[in-house]
Amino acid sequence: MLPLLLTPPALSTALALRPVRAPFPAAAAGWAMGLPALEMPLHVGAGVAAVTAARLTRRPVTRTDLAGAGLAAVTCAGLAVVQARQLAAGRALQGAFDESERAHAGTTGPAARGRTPWRKVLLQPWPLRPRGIEARTRLAYGPDARTTRFDLYTGKGAGQGGGRVRGVLIHIHGGHFRAGGPSRESRAMLFDHALRGWAAISTTYHLSPTPETGFPQHLVDIKSLIRWIRTEGPLHGIPADAPIVVAGSSAGAHIAMMTALTAGDPRFQPGFEDLDTTLAGAIGLYGYYGRLGAETKDVSDPVRHPAEGAPPVAIIHGTDDMYTPVKGSRRLVRHLRGGSSNPVVYAELPGAQHGFDAVNSARYLAVVAAIRRFTEPLAASGVTSPG
């Protein structure tokens, strides 16, 4: 009985350590099964230890129980390796930002402390909205309140006598351009910025059956959201001239980079061609950065757009990503570094898979600290955070 109970966590651990890469259906199934161990190894390990201890304290202890204890030991050893890889992410991020600082002196903020917030990792795996943050949900930046909805997070009192908003962080969700919604990914990053005086926005866009059939509408949508910030934002305490950083996960990262590389391009700003959509920065997390289809390859591929006008960029990817292989990020980084005079920070996270920004893992909290270092110099100067 004990080996049977331990088979699911053992399999999850094995897939976290050695992900399936092909064929794609098997790789996707393996990714889903490996996620618990990959993102929450300490919690899975605690469950394995508890089940094993409960069975071994009974009498009599059978050979099957002893076999289960052996499986538990191997599983816990594997989970220790997964946890070590999570901690290695902090060092990878530190190295990437230090390298950028050397190349572009003064363009990143001070190095974040290397301490892992274990209390949050262990007791609050799902990022909950802190009490000091006000949430305004299901707002709309377009006429269709369902497809252009977003959630807005600010520190309580921001823009209402409690301090001027320092900047706007927009996060665009993933989902292969066909699924997803606001406030499901990168919640810890959004909350961290809201607590530091930013207006943090989690947005959706027009979803489509295929990536190409939705292009360029999803890009137009994000530029429309920028227009909303410039025109309607002051009604919500957001200065019309606040610096804007656009971030995205997976498919959202593609849209974020396209937004960064097409500032002011009238093809993607119908009806508001004269609006300045220049960004203060762009962030991509485990993104796809290729073309969206054969018919739009010349305009939907980020590397087909000049890098000269790109803002500061931070790209973060996992080395074991099976959905969007890391080679796509490397290709975009080469393009950006070949043409942009602004910093291009690039970090590869050892052992990280797709979707690493869902829970408060030690890895993701290190990413949040690194992004804080990236965005801090981009915030409006001379203002203070609310509270």
Is 119 found in the same domain as 39?
Answer: no
Helix or strand holding residue 200 (H, E): strand 198-203
From the list 164, 184, 165, the residue with the least C-alpha distance to 174 is 184
What does the pLDDT read at residue 282?
98
Decide if 210 is inside a domain.
yes
Contact 200, 190 (CB under 8 A): yes
What does the pLDDT read at residue 107?
74
What does the pLDDT read at residue 382?
42
Give me the domain span that covers residue 66.
1-87
What does the pLDDT read at residue 108?
75
Contact 191, 230 (CB under 8 A): no
Tokens of 198: 């930013």
Residues of the chain below pLDDT 70: 110-113, 158-163, 381-387
What does the pLDDT read at residue 78?
98
CA distance 157 to 162: 5
Is 82 found in the same domain as 128?
Answer: no
Tokens of 268: 């993607």
Is 192 found in the same domain as 54?
Answer: no
Model confidence, pTM: 0.94
Is 148 found in the same domain as 37?
Answer: no
Decide if 279 is inside a domain.
yes
Is 196 found in the same domain as 79?
Answer: no
Is 129 found in the same domain as 60?
Answer: no
List helix spans (H) across the chain.
2-17, 24-39, 41-56, 63-103, 118-123, 187-195, 217-231, 251-261, 297-300, 327-339, 362-375
Is 109 found in the same domain as 82?
Answer: no
What does the pLDDT read at residue 112?
57
CA distance 195 to 153: 9
Give residue-wise pLDDT tens across range 15-74.
999 999 999 999 999 999 999 999 999 999 999 999 999 999 988 999 999 999 999 999
What does the pLDDT read at residue 103?
87
How many other β-carbons are positioned within 10 Å of the β-carbon of residue 60? 5
Decide if 387 is inside a domain.
no
CA distance 122 to 106: 35
**Residues 6 or more apart from 167 whose CB is under 8 A from it?**
193, 197, 198, 199, 242, 243, 244, 245, 280, 375, 378, 379, 380
CA distance 136 to 158: 13
**Domain end marker among 87, 122, 156:** 87
CATH number for the domain that contains residue 138: 3.40.50.1820
Is 15 found in the same domain as 65?
Answer: yes
Is 246 found in the same domain as 125?
Answer: yes
**Residues 6 or more apart from 197 whose CB is under 8 A from it?**
155, 158, 163, 164, 165, 166, 167, 379, 383, 384, 385, 386
Decide if 342 is inside a domain.
yes
What does the pLDDT read at residue 383?
42
Is 269 found in the same domain as 218?
Answer: yes
Decide if 48 is inside a domain.
yes
Contact 187, 124 (CB under 8 A): no
Is 163 found in the same domain as 63?
Answer: no
Is 205 found in the same domain as 341?
Answer: yes
Decide if 94 is inside a domain.
no
Decide if 92 is inside a domain.
no
Number of domain units in the chain: 2
Decide if 301 is inside a domain.
yes
What does the pLDDT read at residue 161?
45
